Structure 1
Amino acid sequence: MKGKNTDYNFIIGLFLIIIVLLTFSFFIEEKSFFQEKKIEHNLNYKKQYNFFEKKKLKEQFFILENEVLKLKISNIGGTINEVFLKKYKSYDPIQSYHKRNLFLVKNYSLFYKMNFYDKKNGSKIDTGNILFKPILFKKDKKFTTLILMYKNLNNNNREKGNLYYIYKIGTKKQYDLNFSVKTEKFKLNNTVFINLEQNIFPLEKDKNWENSYTQLYYYSHDLDKNKLEYLSEKNSENRNINNIKWFACKQQFFTTIFHPKNELKNVHVYSKNFNSNKFLKMIRINTYLNPNKRKELNFFTRFYFGPLDFSLLRTYNNNYEDIIPFGWGFLKLINKYFFLPIFKLLENTNLNYGIIIILMTIVVKLILYPITYNQYKLSVTMKLIRPYIEKINKKFGNKNIIEKQKSIISLYKKVGINPMSGCLSAIFQIPIFYSLFKFFPTLINLRGKSFLWVEDLTSYDSILELPFFIPFYGNHISLLTLLYSIALLIYTKLSNDGKNTMSNSDNYLSSNNMDIMLYLMPFVMLLFINSYASALSLYYFISNIINIGFFFIIKKFFLDEKKILLKIKKINNN
């Protein structure tokens, strides 16, 4: 019995020794910065290398995904073949429901690679042409990690160094992807070249409109100042730039952001427009790194593949949200700190987005009501003092212009009005008016949202497609734009009826020309915004309906023209 126990223990001990030796030899062979991780080898290196040289190996893909993203990564070049956004759809002109899966990257439309020279072994590496193998695919509660490795072999199939591509993605609603490139047992030359190129797909209904919002942005650091710059959205452009923190290949509602850990010192960027239906633009970025004394490459960057959502981009604390084209200067401030907070607040009601725009219009008009009231009061008062202005004109004629102007100004002061206040009110409202041109076409919250006959509030609505193209107007009829123009024409008629009283007293202003301009504006707007976002036309239409309502409410309940006229007569008699 004792002998049997001794034999049994001997066998167990021998088995454990074999396991220890195998494990030890395994880690010696794969000695690297991944020693603490479990690495699985499923391919034979010699066989893999020979097959790649003979182009007999088939391409393999590895899937990284979370709740919002799905990425397909190829073993050839280790690059991303596809980026699928799960929560969004792109416009399909063929399907009746006009929706299809949204791929921000497809069939290597995004391509990136590195080129460097290994002085130790005299080999040139082009990562775009090498075959990687997976050595780790791990998913835990927070992240999914994929590690691809390329083993650099000489002609005798002996190892000369390892190159690692490391992808790491969050498992929840994260649109960013961490990407690292590391070398092991390399002695690099001083220069590592990085090349990145993206061909950008059209995703929206109106390709021309979308193309006007598609361009390369970059955030640079110069003389202790950070600034956001961009290439032309209309023309092809080359530029050499320095001290770059990140790049963004931006479309109307989505973007690809390339954000390296360290600033890039010398960068060449190039943007080219396409006339084909397949792509909008091609953007290319070329730069280089200097590993210096480290000799090994350790490069880290973040990719962001996702929507131009202001709140989401702001969470990254890297000024990503600045690429949303809310306008320039004061217009941008109005959109970011006035319209957007109001919209976000109303969005919490979970109502239809068309209703939210209507409510937003009502809220804004109520805030601006004092200006509307003062404008109407000025219009009514100017209408009532017209006879007194004409008397002053007859009294002085054109002989004593200075005294005539003094008398008119004195009359204005007596009745308590300032004609310049009307100009100031108009000047105040102009930035608000034009800021909306940038607000609605770039608000991703409205993208794909329908209202009544409108399919997408960020694109034009069409009740009739024309068989021909009208310059400035387009080849369709937008009902919302038509309604807005009619409402604007009615409001213009009401608000300017009897308003112009200075035709004989103001040599520098032609009343008739002003009337023509005012009544021409509705037709100009009809041409100008026919292809704009239907949300914009809806806002302007409701805004003018409210203005017409204010006109009658103020006239009936707040301004008594008889009392104002009696006050004017009393002042004039004194």
Structure 2
Amino acid sequence: MDRNTFTGLFLIMIIIAGSVYFLKPSDAEIQKEKDRIHLDSLKKAGKVPAAAKTVADTIKKPAIDSAALKSPFGASLAGSEQLLTLENKDIKLKVSTRGGRIYSAELKNFKTYDKKPLILFDGTDNKFGTTLTAGSTIVNTNERYFTQVTGNGSNGITLRLSYSPTQYIDYIYTLPVEGYKVDFTVKPVGLDNVVANSNTFNINWQTAVRKQEMDMHLERQYTTVYYNGLEDGVDYLSETKDDAKEINDQKLQWVSFKAHFFSSVLIAKKGISKANLAVSTDTADHVDIKDMKATLAVERDADGSFPMQFYFGPNKYDLLQKQGFDLEKQVNLGWGPLKYINRFAVLPVFHFLEQFNWSYGLIILALTVILKLVLSPLTYKSYLSMAKMRVLKPEMDEIKAKVGEDNPTLLQQEYLKLYKKAGVNPLGGCLPLLLQMPIVIAFFRFFPSLFELRGESFLWMHDLSTYDAFIKFGFTIPFIGDHLSLMCVLMTISTLIYTYFNNQISGVTGQMKYIGYITPIIFLGALNSYPAGLNYYYFLANMFTFLQQYIIRLMVDDKKIHAQIQENKKKPESTKKKTGFAAKMEEMMRAQQQAQAKKK
């Protein structure tokens, strides 16, 4: 980062800021876009104004000819759609006689970000059925009318698709008194010689996942299709781009249309032998997050039925864990070691703190205190190492003046000799910080995935699971977005202050001291749309780091450090332990110096 590079970056920032200001849309263009979004939402809800309806909307369904009525399952072509209700204390389902499918799923204990009923799917946005081959006739159950079998209570419905009075397919729905699971059994009777390949039930499932949260961009980042392979475990399609996958080399236990905080899961008790999965995003759509599709071959039970379960509920880790089948693994807590840090360390501590019935703002505060106390030995070691480097700085400046800056290899070699005599590790301040980095990064994935923060307020933050905008621009700024999050701004300011004091402690000079100020500005753009809970944690972490450094500074005496360094210098070279790092650096410097000498 020399002066020219720094100047170039500064000019680029000015150009970007200027282009945003001068090229921002006019008020008329903004209003036109708002009107278009409003019209799109009306179309999705089936409330298109009369003037916007097309001629196709007025075409009536054609009459069914008599030949079709005499075909296999032909009687099911005629009928009218009825919506039957299944309801317990947690969910409310509407089951349609057209297709025998679940028409809508409402979670009664939750609301959307704008306080509307939380409906996972509704109407024609959700398709669920199968294609049967009976002789030369292909029957799509989505287009057929089922009849309700009488004698079922409010928590159970049986719908029947008849081939003849003694040959039929029953869809049996059973809802317990509480909970988010629905038992769903497909039971064919007398159709083994009528329907081809009756050993598997081929399901065509499709859902348009609705927008439930305030920030559509972040919601899309955490929405995709998950599945559980009986051999390879839980995996998922891409969260950031359109993706598709065909699976026929192993059985699956379940497939989930997983949104940010809620999921629709189909669990096949006997397994799924084949699956075609797909996820896609229409970025122009401001109502639906993503479109998800699954074609599944469900295995048959010994009694000839196809037992399954639906889970319509929140992505709360401990709740999913209680459902079994490793459903909790669709809560993405990060990759590699980050996942294990969150799952086996951070999450148990978080759940322990929940037992005290504190607000979630106080729980995050307590979590930060615990983490800082655990990491305090590393913080102390890092500070002590930086203090040693600061004490050595006058001697390093003398070496620099003597050797000059035109021979960096020799300069570094002389520095290494000084470090060796003084018994100082130049990376001693960095290594403890690097050991803390996995935990810091783990929180970056932990808080956005944490269902418990959804809808929880603290101080001015109305919802810790999303950003707390205190300024809305009315237009989009690159790298920032259309708003400024207050907690993110506070976090950035605290990081800049921390960088300033850290430079004082470490004694860094030149261009290096400015590099630390660039990173917080970058993170301002990166974290501006992330949950306020995450920025709140980073802000608290900075505050406690200030406090720790203040206390450590009272404990550490630069004069004593200087005296110890001088004592180390007096020790004979043979008594000093040469680390592998120091030996390698010394050898590398010597090789570079020899290469430069040959070149000259």
Same fold flag (TM > 0.5): yes
For 2:43, the equivalent position in structure 1 comes to none
- SS of 1:105's equivalent? strand
1:245 is displaced (CA, Å) by: 2.2
After TM superposition, the structure 1 = structure 2 runs for residues 22-61 of structure 1, keeping only pairs within 5 Å, are 55=79, 57=80, 59-61=81-83
Q: Is 1:443 aligned to 2:457, yes or no?
A: no
Q: Which deviations, in whole Å up to 9, do the C-alpha atoms of 1:95-145 show, x marking residues without a partner?
A: xxxx111011212432211222345xx7654322332233255459xxx33
Whole-Å separation in 2 of the counterparts to 1:389 and 1:289: 72
For 2:148, the equivalent position in structure 1 comes to 134
Structure 1 counterpart of 2:233, from 206, 227, 237: 227
Q: Which deviations, in whole Å up to 9, do the C-alpha atoms of 1:227-267 show, x marking residues without a partner?
A: 33322233333322123221111111111111112232222
Structure 2 counterpart of 1:324, from 322, 331, 346: 331
Aligned-partner residue type, residue 144 of structure 2:
I
Q: Which deviations, in whole Å up to 9, do the C-alpha atoms of 1:354-375 show, x marking residues without a partner?
A: 1211121111111111111111
For 2:577, the equivalent position in structure 1 comes to none
For 1:34, the equivalent position in structure 2 comes to none
Q: Is 1:182 aligned to 2:192, yes or no?
A: no
For 1:79, the equivalent position in structure 2 comes to 101
Whole-Å separation in 2 of the counterparts to 1:264 and 1:481: 45
- SS of 1:555's equivalent? helix
Q: Is 1:149 aligned to 2:160, yes or no?
A: yes
For 1:376, the equivalent position in structure 2 comes to 383
- SS of 2:112's equivalent? strand
- Give the number of equivalent residue pairs: 490
For 1:540, the equivalent position in structure 2 comes to 538
Q: Residue 392 and residue 353 in structure 1: after superposition, are their counterparts in 2 closer, same or farther (change >3 A)?
A: same
1:289 is displaced (CA, Å) by: 5.7
Moved more, 528-537 or 397-406: 397-406
- SS of 1:351's equivalent? coil
1:512 is displaced (CA, Å) by: 3.1
Normalised by the size of structure 1, how large is the TM-score? Answer: 0.79
Structure 1 counterpart of 2:490, from 483, 487, 501: 483
For 2:348, the equivalent position in structure 1 comes to 341
Whole-Å separation in 2 of the counterparts to 1:237 and 1:80: 26
Unmatched tracts of structure 2, length 5 or more? 1-69, 572-600
Moved more, 277-286 or 236-245: 236-245
Kindly indicate whether the alpha-carbon contact (under 8 Å) linking 2:76 and 2:161 is maintained by their aligned counterparts in 1: no
Which structure has the larger Rg over C-alpha atoms? Answer: 1
Normalised by the size of structure 2, how large is the TM-score? Answer: 0.76
Q: Is 1:515 aligned to 2:508, yes or no?
A: no
Q: Identity over aligned residues, as a percent?
A: 31
Q: Is 1:287 aligned to 2:284, yes or no?
A: no
- SS of 1:512's equivalent? coil
Q: Is 1:251 aligned to 2:273, yes or no?
A: no
- SS of 2:510's equivalent? helix
1:208 is displaced (CA, Å) by: 1.4
Whole-Å separation in 2 of the counterparts to 1:137 and 1:392: 94
For 2:204, the equivalent position in structure 1 comes to 195
Aligned-partner residue type, residue 110 of structure 1:
N
After TM superposition, the structure 1 = structure 2 runs for residues 102-501 of structure 1, keeping only pairs within 5 Å, are 102-118=118-134, 124-136=138-150, 138=152, 144-153=155-164, 159=165, 161-172=167-178, 174-186=179-191, 187=193, 188-190=195-197, 192-221=201-230, 225-242=231-248, 243=250, 244-274=252-282, 275-288=284-297, 298-392=305-399, 404-405=414-415, 407-413=417-423, 417-497=424-504, 499-500=506-507
Whole-Å separation in 2 of the counterparts to 1:54 and 1:116: 18
1:79 is displaced (CA, Å) by: 0.8
- Structure richer in helix, relative to its length: 2
1:54 is displaced (CA, Å) by: 5.1
Q: Which deviations, in whole Å up to 9, do the C-alpha atoms of 1:386-441 show, x marking residues without a partner?
A: 2233445567775966863552232342xxx4222322212212211211111111
For 1:12, the equivalent position in structure 2 comes to none
Whole-Å separation in 2 of the counterparts to 1:218 and 1:50: 36
Aligned-partner residue type, residue 453 of structure 1:
W
1:543 is displaced (CA, Å) by: 0.7
Whole-Å separation in 1 of the counterparts to 2:471 and 2:482: 9
Whole-Å separation in 2 of the counterparts to 1:547 and 1:291: 59
Aligned-partner residue type, residue 290 of structure 2:
K
Kindly indicate whether the alpha-carbon contact (under 8 Å) linking 2:400 and 2:411 is maintained by their aligned counterparts in 1: no
Whole-Å separation in 2 of the counterparts to 1:498 and 1:145: 69
Unmatched tracts of structure 1, length 5 or more? 1-45, 93-98, 154-158, 502-510
- SS of 2:270's equivalent? coil
Kindly indicate whether the alpha-carbon contact (under 8 Å) linking 2:299 and 2:306 is maintained by their aligned counterparts in 1: no
Whole-Å separation in 2 of the counterparts to 1:403 and 1:288: 68
Q: Residue 484 and residue 60 in structure 1: after superposition, are their counterparts in 2 closer, same or farther (change >3 A)?
A: same
For 2:15, the equivalent position in structure 1 comes to none
Whole-Å separation in 1 of the counterparts to 2:224 and 2:233: 16
Kindly indicate whether the alpha-carbon contact (under 8 Å) linking 1:71 and 1:82 is maintained by their aligned counterparts in 2: yes
Aligned-partner residue type, residue 182 of structure 1:
K
Q: Residue 51 and residue 449 in structure 1: after superposition, are their counterparts in 2 closer, same or farther (change >3 A)?
A: same
Whole-Å separation in 2 of the counterparts to 1:284 and 1:86: 26
- SS of 1:240's equivalent? strand
Q: Residue 328 and residue 402 in structure 1: after superposition, are their counterparts in 2 closer, same or farther (change >3 A)?
A: closer
Aligned-partner residue type, residue 408 of structure 1:
L
Whole-Å separation in 2 of the counterparts to 1:425 and 1:103: 48
> CA RMSD of the aligned region, Å?
2.7
1:152 is displaced (CA, Å) by: 2.3
Q: Residue 290 and residue 213 in structure 1: after superposition, are their counterparts in 2 closer, same or farther (change >3 A)?
A: closer
Aligned-partner residue type, residue 549 of structure 1:
L
Q: Residue 256 and residue 137 in structure 1: after superposition, are their counterparts in 2 closer, same or farther (change >3 A)?
A: farther
Q: Which deviations, in whole Å up to 9, do the C-alpha atoms of 1:457-504 show, x marking residues without a partner?
A: 010001111132210111112111111111111111112215246xxx
Whole-Å separation in 2 of the counterparts to 1:383 and 1:289: 68
